[in-house]
Chains A and B, each alone.
Chain A
């Protein structure tokens, strides 16, 4: 469950298991990370990015086929074989592990804390290398690629990441339907698990707040279903000014409006009224930063009319209920504020404001209507910073229960994803390389069968006098057939058996070589040899059958000739009588028309996959051209004359003497060429048109990916890599590109951050 990295209390696993004992549940802290060699061992390929760091407990390994007897101590890790290979590390080696800290709020959300390092680093010792059976390949994505996996003790990793007790992934297994597991989850989760908390104020107000500053829309709408609820939005504005006087960096509170206040009006507190000299009816200019979809802030200003002045005592409750912003609420002085918005250092040092902060803290200077605030400050992360509940008979436990009932665990990110099912679906809808290779090899198979047939035809033609002798000695046609079949069968059967054994041996060798020396050729897919007696028998049987059919056909044809003809002539050469052979144009034309039609159709409709059309058109064209060749040879054959000998006439005579042989050789050559051209024409140099927007690269020559998110504007990111850059926000998922041979089930989503 939870691909969104939402952290929750690791004990949720126990609560779910307690609710549904049949369920095996393990809590995992999964963090993106990097693994590198310590400086003294560094080489050019010393660092692995996009490492999946899994903080696990012993419960996790019970999911393994062959549970590893690995005790993960603090400061030690286990890696999978791929990681070990890539860094050439073995148990006992020291490596440097970097993990990204789990974040309850997006790093680039307004008001989000910028304090603290986004990543934590530690030198760890490799304790074990885990095989696939020991969950070394553990991956939640439907991709044949094995991730780089690092396994660490969960509580140690929690400590390293500075998030005690936190997990962000529950894996569940056991003899339980997904629905039952989800119901157990729905019963077991707490508001804290999804980063929500309730606070009660002595005045009787209960307030819902979120760890991620802005509350999920799902939670907001669940809260709004409870009677007596009202949303509030707290924001930090750059300045409030009136008549040339100004106070910087002020908290603004928007919520239930005082009776009679309308949109465009504001309540100011006594301190502001004194500081700015403003009275009801005066206008104020409020400057604030607005977050644009491209992650940049712009300063905007809006004018409000003072509706009334509130005393500081009246607003004391607002001070108490102001949401706690890390990096803001918890610092002594405004000068130490550090939040996800650009701030003017000199204004932060404004003495009057500093004094206000010391005396009144987060007490709002301005109170607006909620709708005005939402218009100005709603962004992709939400539009509500707290929901208040007031009314008789409300208590925290009651509200919590109502919220839990109203919030669907699935929508808020606490849903079990049937990864195995998704994986199965992905594989079942995967790229069918068998079909593709069969299409390719079809031409090879046809060529091989033609060769086989030719071999037998030639062999038998050579023995025409022998057939004639046997016939003249009183052997009936069926007896002659019997003799030749009896003679060919053992050789073809032996050949087929040898071919099957040799072929599988060669395939085995090829796969071993591919896996060992060139895994990139198969996109990292683990290739393994699989032979079934059935297919081998079928292959051999087809070869033997083909040979036998050829033998029978040739002998049947021979039996139509008298022994005299068999002695005298070579029965495969056709008569040179002039023929009305224009009807010979019909079959090849019948093959050409659909071939042209298919090509045109494919050109016009641009189907997703051309493979089938390609091979069908190829096969039809081959047939058509061979047919036209037959016609041409027939015409030439009937016109040969030696009145004026020319070398080319000799050639024509020889070509037309045995049209079957001529065309078989031509067909064989054509099959070979077709394969060579087909394979080489399907190669595409991606880099060639990389700067075209219409190419698969979208016009970008370079694609850089960071393990830990980079915040800031496109220009910032561009400055980092010294190029024009277009940042993308990525929601991790299955690779839908060509390196994933499976059908992506939950594809990676990249969203355009910049207006580029």
Chain B
């Protein structure tokens, strides 16, 4: 179900990834030998019940966490070997992240929140225009001067999406972005993501909700029995 791609080279590739958490005396193996490649323009959803390791996987893809073993290759470069500066650059330029909680900074307005990633990348005037266009696109044109606590949960999540897209990332990661929204807002956001994915032609990895309902908009649902760890996690056998 892959969309036609401009390039068949993967944006990000996981090679034999394992991830375990240490909690007190126990070690919890969440992911075991996961191999995964995401290509430009591809839409992919990962489904699984709560606690099965979806967030863990997403954090690894998004360089927000390091695997216990295995390699994360981003555009052909081993993330583990990048300097903090280079990782920061990758996060800023190539990855857009939408969290389950919006993680907007409360002290800034909607527009400012959207512009924060551009503080590093682009020159101001054009970026402001683009931010306003994007906010307009998600229906928040008249909310730019509000602060996060002055808008609704769905609106916040849309701001977070715009923030994730502002630097034209090649990979948009969304970890249960609709998880804290009601059905209508969730559907709206899902539609938006699909449209944006088409418009911006980027690799997308929206993370579906545990019941797979949200995976409807994903180009590919990753839940196969060929991934023992994911499967095991899905059966609640993640810990050992």
Q: Which residue of B lies closest to A578 (CB)?
A: B25
Question: Does B240 count as interface, using CB distance less than 8 angstroms?
Answer: no
Q: Which residue of B lies closest to A566 (CB)?
A: B64
Q: Which residue of A lies closest to B92 (CB)?
A: A474
**A575 / chain B contacts, CB cutoff of 8 Å:** 22
A564→B64 contact, CB < 8 A? yes
A469→B59 contact, CB < 8 A? no
| Partner of A472 from B91, B120, B121 at Cβ < 8 Å | B91
A474→B120 contact, CB < 8 A? yes
A469-B105 CB under 8 A given contacts A474-B88, A565-B65: yes
A474-B25 CB under 8 A given contacts A465-B103, A479-B88: no
**B125 / chain A contacts, CB cutoff of 8 Å:** none
Distance in angstroms between the alpha carbons of A475 and B62 in the assembled complex: 14
Question: Does B85 count as interface, using CB distance less than 8 angstroms?
Answer: yes
A576→B24 contact, CB < 8 A? yes
* B150, chain A: closest CB distance, angstroms: 18
Contact with A along B13-38 (1 / 0, CB 8 A): 00000000010110000000000000
| Partner of A473 from B22, B24, B163 at Cβ < 8 Å | B163
B116→A473 contact, CB < 8 A? yes
A577→B88 contact, CB < 8 A? no
Question: Does A562 count as interface, using CB distance less than 8 angstroms?
Answer: yes
Give the most central of A472, A565, A576: most B CB within 10 Å: A472
* B118, chain A: closest CB distance, angstroms: 10
Give the most central of B66, B88, B90, B167: most A CB within 10 Å: B88
* B222, chain A: closest CB distance, angstroms: 20
**B62 / chain A contacts, CB cutoff of 8 Å:** 472
A473→B59 contact, CB < 8 A? no
Question: Does B117 count as interface, using CB distance less than 8 angstroms?
Answer: yes
Interface residues of A in 463-499 (CB under 8 A from B): 465-466, 468-479
Question: Does A559 count as interface, using CB distance less than 8 angstroms?
Answer: yes
Interface residues on A, range: 20 to 34
A475→B120 contact, CB < 8 A? yes
A473-B64 CB under 8 A given contacts A479-B88, A564-B59, A577-B24: no
Question: Does B71 count as interface, using CB distance less than 8 angstroms?
Answer: no
Interface residues of A in 121-150 (CB under 8 A from B): none
Distance in angstroms between the alpha carbons of A8 and B87 in the assembled complex: 96
Question: Does A714 count as interface, using CB distance less than 8 angstroms?
Answer: no
Interface residues on B, range: 20 to 34
B120→A562 contact, CB < 8 A? no
Question: Does A563 count as interface, using CB distance less than 8 angstroms?
Answer: yes
* A708, chain B: closest CB distance, angstroms: 81
Distance in angstroms between the alpha carbons of A475 and B116 in the assembled complex: 10
**A469 / chain B contacts, CB cutoff of 8 Å:** 103, 105
A476→B85 contact, CB < 8 A? yes
A474-B117 CB under 8 A given contacts A465-B103, A479-B88, A563-B64: yes
Distance in angstroms between the alpha carbons of A562 and B93 in the assembled complex: 18
**B22 / chain A contacts, CB cutoff of 8 Å:** 575, 577
**B117 / chain A contacts, CB cutoff of 8 Å:** 473-474
Q: Which residue of B lies closest to A565 (CB)?
A: B65
Contact with B along A558-584 (1 / 0, CB 8 A): 010011110100000001111000000
**A563 / chain B contacts, CB cutoff of 8 Å:** 59, 64-65
**B91 / chain A contacts, CB cutoff of 8 Å:** 471-474
**B105 / chain A contacts, CB cutoff of 8 Å:** 466, 469
**B65 / chain A contacts, CB cutoff of 8 Å:** 562-565
Distance in angstroms between the alpha carbons of A466 and B88 in the assembled complex: 15
* A573, chain B: closest CB distance, angstroms: 13
* B95, chain A: closest CB distance, angstroms: 8
Contact with B along A574-599 (1 / 0, CB 8 A): 01111000000000000000000000
* B231, chain A: closest CB distance, angstroms: 23
**A470 / chain B contacts, CB cutoff of 8 Å:** 116
Distance in angstroms between the alpha carbons of A471 and B89 in the assembled complex: 10
A479→B120 contact, CB < 8 A? yes
Interface residues of A in 171-227 (CB under 8 A from B): none
**A473 / chain B contacts, CB cutoff of 8 Å:** 91-92, 97, 116-117, 163
**B25 / chain A contacts, CB cutoff of 8 Å:** 577-578
Question: Does B213 count as interface, using CB distance less than 8 angstroms?
Answer: no
A471→B103 contact, CB < 8 A? no
**B224 / chain A contacts, CB cutoff of 8 Å:** none
Question: Does B4 count as interface, using CB distance less than 8 angstroms?
Answer: no
* B164, chain A: closest CB distance, angstroms: 9
Question: Does B225 count as interface, using CB distance less than 8 angstroms?
Answer: no
B92→A562 contact, CB < 8 A? no
Distance in angstroms between the alpha carbons of A468 and B84 in the assembled complex: 14
Distance in angstroms between the alpha carbons of A563 and B59 in the assembled complex: 9
Distance in angstroms between the alpha carbons of A474 and B164 in the assembled complex: 11
**A472 / chain B contacts, CB cutoff of 8 Å:** 62, 64, 91, 97, 103
* B11, chain A: closest CB distance, angstroms: 16
Interface residues of B in 127-177 (CB under 8 A from A): 163, 167
**B121 / chain A contacts, CB cutoff of 8 Å:** 474
Contact with B along A454-467 (1 / 0, CB 8 A): 00000000000110
Interface residues of B in 79-116 (CB under 8 A from A): 84-85, 87-93, 95, 97, 99, 103, 105, 116
Distance in angstroms between the alpha carbons of A474 and B24 in the assembled complex: 31
**B163 / chain A contacts, CB cutoff of 8 Å:** 473
Q: Which residue of B lies closest to A469 (CB)?
A: B103
Q: Which residue of B lies closest to A564 (CB)?
A: B65
A562→B64 contact, CB < 8 A? yes
**A476 / chain B contacts, CB cutoff of 8 Å:** 84-85, 87-89
**B167 / chain A contacts, CB cutoff of 8 Å:** 474
Contact with A along B173-215 (1 / 0, CB 8 A): 0000000000000000000000000000000000000000000
**A466 / chain B contacts, CB cutoff of 8 Å:** 105
Q: Which residue of A lies closest to B169 (CB)?
A: A474
Distance in angstroms between the alpha carbons of A469 and B108 in the assembled complex: 13
**A471 / chain B contacts, CB cutoff of 8 Å:** 64, 88, 91
A475→B64 contact, CB < 8 A? no
**B64 / chain A contacts, CB cutoff of 8 Å:** 471-472, 562-564, 567
Interface residues of B in 39-53 (CB under 8 A from A): none
Q: Which residue of B lies closest to A483 (CB)?
A: B119
Interface residues of A in 616-658 (CB under 8 A from B): none
* B27, chain A: closest CB distance, angstroms: 11
Interface residues of A in 337-358 (CB under 8 A from B): none
**B90 / chain A contacts, CB cutoff of 8 Å:** 474
Give the most central of A471, A474, A477, A575: most B CB within 10 Å: A474
* B176, chain A: closest CB distance, angstroms: 14
Distance in angstroms between the alpha carbons of A14 and B104 in the assembled complex: 93
Q: Which residue of B lies closest to A477 (CB)?
A: B84
**A565 / chain B contacts, CB cutoff of 8 Å:** 65
Distance in angstroms between the alpha carbons of A472 and B117 in the assembled complex: 10
Q: Which residue of B lies closest to A470 (CB)?
A: B116
Distance in angstroms between the alpha carbons of A479 and B139 in the assembled complex: 32
Distance in angstroms between the alpha carbons of A468 and B91 in the assembled complex: 12
**B59 / chain A contacts, CB cutoff of 8 Å:** 562-564
Distance in angstroms between the alpha carbons of A107 and B120 in the assembled complex: 97
Q: Which residue of B lies closest to A474 (CB)?
A: B92
**A564 / chain B contacts, CB cutoff of 8 Å:** 59, 64-65
Distance in angstroms between the alpha carbons of A475 and B171 in the assembled complex: 17
24 A-B contacts, Cβ less than 8 Å apart?
A: A469-B105, A471-B91, A472-B62, A473-B91, A473-B116, A473-B117, A473-B163, A474-B89, A474-B93, A475-B120, A476-B87, A479-B120, A559-B84, A562-B59, A562-B64, A562-B65, A563-B64, A564-B59, A564-B64, A567-B99, A576-B24, A577-B22, A577-B25, A578-B24
Would you list the 10 A-B pairs with minimal beta carbon distance, nearest first? Answer: A474-B92, A476-B88, A564-B65, A474-B91, A563-B64, A564-B59, A564-B64, A562-B65, A473-B117, A469-B103
- A residues lining the B interface (CB < 8 Å): 465-466, 468-479, 559, 562-565, 567, 575-578
Contacts A475-B88, A476-B87, A564-B64 known; 5 new A-B pairs at CB < 8 A: A465-B103, A474-B91, A478-B85, A567-B64, A577-B22
- B residues lining the A interface (CB < 8 Å): 22, 24-25, 59, 62, 64-66, 84-85, 87-93, 95, 97, 99, 103, 105, 116-117, 120-121, 163, 167
